[in-house]
């Protein structure tokens, strides 16, 4: 391999790896010096001149001319006879520089040069990727689905870097195929076997916060602050926001005209239901807002143990609990209080609609009871267990569970 071929080989590395010129020149010089040091016992007497743009690479060996027979260190000294072969008018005591051709290193040394060069460039590239994404933890990135595995998906960014989206960090209803573009937030960057691993998430609260920043200019500009976010990915989320400017309605700004701003976020999160509420330091008011859309009648707070007993009218209980218990669970996470819901007792209430028990009795069971004309708790209790099993076509255990729940209501 001659000098021109070697220059072309590392120029290709430079273009492919997107490494700047100065860095590339430093890498090549370091690689050459390491090879020269092994062959000659040192590289201090060598000058390495590199110009990748012109395809030039020169290696010069600098030595002092000494009389014949007095050369003690061939690395730093040269005899007058050998010096005159380079330039006939040299004299003892002068410095001489002799160009060293790459071919003179030998095939094995040149192969080692290329391998060392490739290794150093690869290490530099990996370190650059690690630093780049380490600084982007918490930011949203786009990636193209490259490969799908059982426990994770491999994505490629616009520079071809590999990104990992674990199955546990995907929204349950997410479905991707090769070639799809995916948005996610960078959560962690690790080094494994000297290679950077970039982890992404679509379930992290940080992902939802970044989406709000991209859709709501007031949040991006700092006029509105996101105080807290809690999520049940793909199901429901609660976002507490605050504005330091009384002229700005933080909830209205986040939702947008006719929901224009929040609709894009909801679509990205696979129709996740998002509640945006005003943050307040008034805990009682904060809990009331967190349990929206339910309307609270009364509340007892235990600030020492961070507990709240919330009393609601029977028709508000199911709203407070929410489908699958998501509403009350997220409200507890958002406020930091353990919330217990109680039906408000009232002597005026002689009967209770069956729908008010949807948090304790499955909907399909309620539908079975309604199909035979039983719409209230007392209408069900008027029948014995055998009649209910026969008429509603329900199992004995199911009927017993229903009766126990309904009886407990009136015993309370």
**Alpha-carbon distance 211 to 258, whole Å?**
18
What's residue 54's pLDDT?
Answer: 59
What is the DSSP pairing of strand 273-278 with strand 152-156? Answer: unpaired
Residue holding tokens 């490969």? Answer: 147
| Sign of CA pseudo-dihedral 134, 135, 138, 144 | negative
Place of tokens 């199955």: 167
pLDDT at 266: 94
Instruction: Kindly state the DSSP code that residue 345 receives in the 8-state scheme.
Output: P
User: Cβ contacts of residue 214 below 8 Å, gap of 6+?
Assistant: 140, 220
Which of 102, 45, 47, 100 lies closest to 74 in space, CA to CA? 45
Contacts by residues 322-328 (CB-CB < 8 Å, ≥ 24 positions apart): 322/236, 323/235, 324/235, 325/359, 326/232, 326/235, 326/236, 327/236, 327/291, 327/294, 328/291
Selection from 385, 381, 387 nearest residue 411 by Cα: 381
Tell me what pLDDT residue 230 has. 96
The number of beta carbons lying within 10 Å of the beta carbon of residue 332 is 20
Q: Is 359 left (phi over 0), alpha (psi -120 to 50) or beta?
A: alpha
Q: Give the integer Cα–Cα distance in Å for 3 and 56.
A: 8
Contact at 8 Å (CB) between 377 and 412?
Answer: no
pLDDT of residue 348: 46
- Judged by phi (left if over 0) then psi (alpha if -120 to 50, else beta), residue 145 lies in beta
CB 153, CB 219: distance < 8 Å: no
Phi-psi region of 183 (alpha: psi -120 to 50; beta: other; left: phi over 0): beta
Specify the residue for token string 């996610």.
184
Q: How far apart are CA 124 and CA 105, in angstroms?
A: 26
pLDDT attached to residue 11: 54
DSSP-derived 3-state class of residue 252: helix
Q: What is the CA radius of gyration of the chain?
A: 37
Alpha carbon 398 to chain centroid distance? Answer: 44
How many whole angstroms separate alpha carbon 239 and alpha carbon 208?
Answer: 9
pLDDT at site 10: 54
Distance CA 337, CA 89 (A): 93
Half-sphere exposure of 41 (CA within 13 A, CB side): 4
Q: Which residue has the tokens 């491999």?
A: 154
Q: How far apart are CA 214 and CA 290, in angstroms?
A: 24
Phi/psi of residue 365, nearest 5 degrees: -70, -45
Give the model's pLDDT for residue 290.
94
In this prediction the pTM is 0.65
Q: Tell me what pLDDT residue 1 has.
A: 47
Backbone angles phi, psi at 378, to 5 degrees: -70, -30
- Alpha-carbon gap, residue 44 to 252, rounded angstroms: 70
Q: How far apart are CA 320 and CA 322, in angstroms?
A: 6
List per-residue pLDDT tens for the chain, 412 residues long: 455 555 555 555 545 455 666 676 777 777 777 777 777 677 777 877 776 665 567 788 888 888 888 888 877 888 888 888 888 888 888 888 887 777 667 677 767 777 777 777 778 788 888 888 999 999 999 999 999 999 999 999 988 889 999 999 999 999 999 999 999 999 999 988 888 999 999 999 999 999 999 999 999 999 999 999 999 999 999 999 999 888 899 999 999 888 889 999 999 999 999 999 999 999 999 999 999 888 888 899 998 999 999 988 877 888 888 888 899 999 999 999 999 988 876 544 567 778 888 878 888 888 888 888 777 888 888 888 888 888 888 888 888 888 888 888 777 5
CB 272 within 8 A of CB 302: no
């Amino acid at each position: 391999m001659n000098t021109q071929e070697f220059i072309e080989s590392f120029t290709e590395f430079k273009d492919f790896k997107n490494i700047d010129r100065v860095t590339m020149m430093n890498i090549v010089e370091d690689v050459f010096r390491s090879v020269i040091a092994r062959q000659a016992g040192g590289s201090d007497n060598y000058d390495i001149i590199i110009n990748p743009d012109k395809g030039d690479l020169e290696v010069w060996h600098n030595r002092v001319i000494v009389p014949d027979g007095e050369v003690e260190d061939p690395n730093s000294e040269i005899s007058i006879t050998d010096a005159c072969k380079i330039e006939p008018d040299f004299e003892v005591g002068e410095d001489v520089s002799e160009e060293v051709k790459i071919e003179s290193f030998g095939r094995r040394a040149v192969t080692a040069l290329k391998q060392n060069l490739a290794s150093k460039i690869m290490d530099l590239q990996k370190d650059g990727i690690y630093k780049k994404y380490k600084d982007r933890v918490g930011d949203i990135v786009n990636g193209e689905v490259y490969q799908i595995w059982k426990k994770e998906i491999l994505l490629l960014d616009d520079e071809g870097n590999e990104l990992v989206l674990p199955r546990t960090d995907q929204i349950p209803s997410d479905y991707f195929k090769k070639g799809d573009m995916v948005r996610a937030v960078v959560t962690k960057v690790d080094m494994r076997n000297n290679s950077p691993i970039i982890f992404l998430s679509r379930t992290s609260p940080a992902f939802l916060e970044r989406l709000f920043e991209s859709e709501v200019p007031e949040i991006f500009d700092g006029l509105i602050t996101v105080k807290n976010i809690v999520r049940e990915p793909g199901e429901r989320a609660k976002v507490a926001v605050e504005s330091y400017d009384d002229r700005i309605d933080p909830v209205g700004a986040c939702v947008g005209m006719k929901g224009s701003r929040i609709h894009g976020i909801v679509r990205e999160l696979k129709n996740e239901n998002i509640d945006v509420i005003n943050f307040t330091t008034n805990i009682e008011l904060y809990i009331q807002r967190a349990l929206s859309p339910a309307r609270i009648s009364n509340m007892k707070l235990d600030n020492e143990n961070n507990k709240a007993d919330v009393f609601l009218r029977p028709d508000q209980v199911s709203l407070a609990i929410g489908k699958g218990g998501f509403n009350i669970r997220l409200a507890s996470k958002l406020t930091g209080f353990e919330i217990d819901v109680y039906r408000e007792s009232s002597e005026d209430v002689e009967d209770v609609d069956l729908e008010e028990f949807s948090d304790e009795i499955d909907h399909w069971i309620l539908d079975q009871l309604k199909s035979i004309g039983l719409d209230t708790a007392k209408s069900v209790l008027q029948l014995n267990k055998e009649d209910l099993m026969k008429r509603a076509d329900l199992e004995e255990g199911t009927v017993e569970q229903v009766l126990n729940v309904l009886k407990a209501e009136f015993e309370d």
